[in-house]
Amino acid sequence: MKVTRAAYAEAFAAVTGRPLIQLPQMVGMTEPEIFFDALGRNGVSLRADGESERLLAPFGAEFATRLAARKDLLTTEGTLLPGAAEALRTVAALDGVVQSVLTGSSRPNAALKLRAFGLDRYLDLAVAGFAGSEPYPKGALLRATRLRAEEKYAVRFAERATIYVADSPRDVEAATMGGATSVGVASGRASSAELRDAGADLVLPDLTDTAPLVSLITSRP
């Protein structure tokens, strides 16, 4: 999204003192991974060991500030993927289902984007996983998110009853590592074939037809 890229470029220049010429691939990546990749791609010379890690926290804070300043542009220039809102609304109405997010974004950035499109009303962000804010790979973070939900709701959720809806092969692989059932949605950059090859249990062209997703959720033990 252009709004995110603009905020990212401003934050990068403010923290590193260099312009962002080349933006790394963002799909399926976490904010720290994107930042470290951007340092190398844009010729940021780090003289001391650990200097890149020391830049991460101030960059994250600056990026969140710059993105928040553009919150009104998120809805006017951003795009909500087909069927996303209806799918969240439909799943939220199912009995016994806790719906949250697992994302490579930081907590403030993810919450800002969800709120801009009114999607946060269908989600319990208290149990969510934010790989941009937590030092865990997504597979481990998926397990941690499930444990948070179990603790909050005093219910045990079987691994395969945890369903991760994602649009990148990397996230499908994270679902496998986290013991979850994966739904690959080919409305992003990855094709149906790429998601299927990554091991997705169910592949959908988009979320406009919620029936296959609901059927999968209700069939889990």
pLDDT tens-digit series, residues 138-162: 889 999 999 999 999 999 999 999 9
How far is the C-alpha of 162 from the C-alpha of 69, rounded, in Å?
A: 35
**Are residues 71 and 119 both part of a single domain?**
no
Tell me how far the alpha carbon of residue 133 is from its chain's centroid. 11
**Are residues 88 and 170 both part of a single domain?**
yes
This model's pTM is above 0.75: yes
For β-strands 102-103 and 129-130, DSSP reports them as parallel
The domain containing residue 132 runs over which residues?
Answer: 80-219
Domain boundary among 76, 97, 112: 76
> Is the alpha carbon torsion for 11, 15, 19, 21 positive or negative?
negative
Closest CA to 19 of 27, 10, 28: 10
- As for how many domains the chain has, the answer is 2
Sorted by sequence, the CB contacts under 8 Å of residue 7 that are 6+ apart come out as: 63, 66, 67, 69, 70
Domain boundary among 46, 76, 106: 76
**Are residues 97 and 200 both part of a single domain?**
yes
**Are residues 137 and 163 both part of a single domain?**
yes
175-201: per-residue pLDDT in tens?
999 999 999 999 888 999 999 999 999
Domain boundary among 76, 95, 117: 76
Closest CA to 142 of 194, 179, 89, 88: 179
